[in-house]
Amino acid sequence: MAATYDYTMGGTGGFLSVFGRKFYVITRVMDVADIIASDATMAAAGKIAATDTIKAINVPDDTLVLGTVTRVMTACTDTTATVDVGDGDDVEGFDAAVDITAAAGTNGWTNNDADAYSMQIASGKVYSAADTIDVLFNNDTTNGVFLVQALCVDLGYEL
């Protein structure tokens, strides 16, 4: 049975970069070993199971997420490992089938015609209520480190 785990506040590597007070980037380090260790079920299995969803980034209300970037930091050594980046409305709304076995430094970009929230399709997504950007694992995954970054615009600021 598929499960959803919350990693938005746990582990290491979540930080916020502020530009002005209107545009900002939220970066989340997704260290598969840390995620596995943070949950008893995953730790007992020694993996993040295929179809498990990890809540990665908290998105505040009144935020436009223009897009996401997924960047491999340490390649996963499993034979096949891909992730989708999206939310509860569309699990691959930002990025579909990002290969986390790719060489370190490889990026997955939102700017893909097939992604629902792509800048070419929809110019991102407006979140009127707080939500999360989630990572869906398409394969059993045991290792690797990657970043998920969201380019955001604060739509609720005072003039």
**Where are the chain's structural domains?**
4-153
Tell me the pLDDT of the chain averaged across its residues. Answer: 86
pLDDT tens digit string along 44-98?
999 999 999 999 999 999 999 988 989 999 999 999 999 999 999 999 999 889 9
Percent of the chain having pLDDT more than 90? Answer: 62
| Spatial CA neighbour of 29 closest among 62, 56, 69 | 56
Task: Please report the pLDDT score of residue 98 as a whole number.
Answer: 92
The C-alpha atoms of residue 156 and residue 64 are separated, in whole angstroms, by 10
Q: Establish how many alpha carbons lie within 13 A of residue 62's alpha carbon, considering only the half-sphere containing its beta carbon.
A: 6
pLDDT score for 23: 85
Distance between CA atoms of residues 81 and 26, nearest Å: 24
Q: Which fold has domain 4-153?
A: Jelly Rolls (2.60.120)
